[in-house]
Structure 1
Amino acid sequence: MAGALLAVWAGAALAGGGAAPSGPAPQQGESGLPLPRFVSLKADRVNLRSGPGTDYPTAWVYRRAGLPLEVLGEFEAWRQVRDAEGATGWILQSLLSGRRTALVTPWDVKSGEAAPQIPIRVSDSESSRPVVMVEAGVIANVHTCDSRWCRVTIDRYRGYVPQKQLWGVYENEIVR
């Protein structure tokens, strides 16, 4: 019976689709934190499981600390997450960090092709000079966002990127 209830609950969480704040108001999870929300991976090797527990099979292994994930649901110490490619599953909460990161235009990464170069600018203006050009798919540390531009750090470079070019920050979200 508990397994059936869990399956119904998980299906309901997936059906919500993790709408961005521009849709319905975010809900509050068991942890007291909003749902949906973005987090990042703490470790270089994290198992994505098909359900909330170690008895569930591993569906995928992430090998990239700092990778942003969207939390869609919560069950005890487990978080139901979605990645930039749309894969969903469950990760133990202790392997996730509240540190905000984002992928730079991950939708531009094509298998077998060179990733396009995206400018990180000196200020929050399209006319400002680039500080550095980065490949699509690179992880940026997000410091602030004003709903149009985000101030980010990538390696030793700091600058601004349009918020719409990041996966890991909601449209119109303010990050302080």
Structure 2
Amino acid sequence: MSEAAKWYVIHTYSGYENKVAQNIEKVVENRKLHELIQEVRVPTEKAEEITDGKTKEVERKTYPGYVLVKMVMNDDSWYVVRNTRGCTGFVGPASEPTPLSEEEVQKLFGVEVSTVSVDFKVGDNVRISGTAMDGFIGVVQNINLDDRSVDLLVSMFGRETPTTLPISQVVRVED
């Protein structure tokens, strides 16, 4: 084999990323093209979503609408990928397939990123749960996703009291 496989990015219809990846893998299997198309990935990340004080881990697409393919670029491999249902083309100037650089590949696969999302924002009223201040209502002043805490202004005994709590001990109050 003279040419080394490189990573390419293909654009898909939004929501079709997994289907496109499965279809490419199925064609590779059926036509025995393992040397040409070596790997297909939908970039995802693990994230924590905190809703109503409950934390759950979800996997979400890092780049919706894109699939990564490690392949040797030639007419056959280009044709297979380009004519996969749901695929709208390769990413590159004038839809010319452009391989990712080593740095880009390292950035995509080298580090696993974990993010946190919350169902409230600065200015929202929240109820405190699971602490000595259980049931008190506070106003969100600041959300610190890095250390997973939230700064609140809590009205206690007629006075505004600033406090910092873990995100998991705060539940958004429905308006």
TM-score (norm: length of structure 2): 0.27
More helix by share: 2
Q: Higher relative contact order by CA 8 Å / sep ≥ 6: 1 or 2?
A: 2
Which of the pair has more CA radius of gyration? 2
